[in-house]
Amino acid sequence: MTTYRPIDSKREEFRKYLERAGVMDALTKVLVALYEEPEKPVDAMEYPFINASFYMFLQVESFVRKNLGDDRPERCELDAALNDLAEAQGKIAVLEEALAEVKSRLEKYEPTDDGSQNPD
């Protein structure tokens, strides 16, 4: 005969929190979607990390994110944005150097009345 072991209060409180936050529903939906996938991974826990190529990892990561309702940008979108940012920062540095050069030339040909440099 089995004995009934009550769940401790912290564990029960955490379970209720997960239910209120919608985590349990989201996980259930992902598990159902995985169940309905025609091609299942060899090992569902290790699949994206060990048994799959990087391309397959990105597909699984995208699948889980999509099914959990994660609206953060994909990794490739973040990489593209970081590349754009680096290019823009490089252009800004070049333009700041050009501006400093133009200001120094302007000061040379059009000094201020009191002899001090123009404020930025």
Asked if the model's pLDDT at residue 74 lies above 50, the reply is yes
Q: Band the pLDDT of 48: cuts 50, 70, 90.
A: very low
Q: Is residue 117 part of a domain?
A: no
The reply to whether 58 and 31 lie within a common domain is: yes
Amino acid present at 15:
R
The reply to whether 17 and 57 lie within a common domain is: yes
Rounded-to-integer distance, Cα 101 and Cα 120, Å: 13
66 or 24, greater pLDDT:
24
Q: Is residue 63 part of a domain?
A: yes
Measured in whole angstroms, how far is the alpha carbon of residue 103 from the centre of its chain?
41
Which pLDDT score is estimated for 86?
Answer: 95
Measured in whole angstroms, how far is the alpha carbon of residue 27 from the centre of its chain?
20
Whether the predicted model's global pTM rises above the 0.75 cut: no
Structure tokens at 48: 């994206």
The reply to whether 51 and 83 lie within a common domain is: no
The reply to whether 92 and 56 lie within a common domain is: no
Amino acid present at 8:
D
Residues contacting 51, CB < 8 A, separation 6+: 41, 42, 43
Tell me which residue range forms the domain holding 84.
73-111
pLDDT in tens, 26-37: 778 777 777 887
The reply to whether 25 and 59 lie within a common domain is: yes
Q: How many domains would you assign to the chain?
A: 2
State the greatest distance between any 2 C-alpha atoms of the chain, in Å, as a whole number. Answer: 101
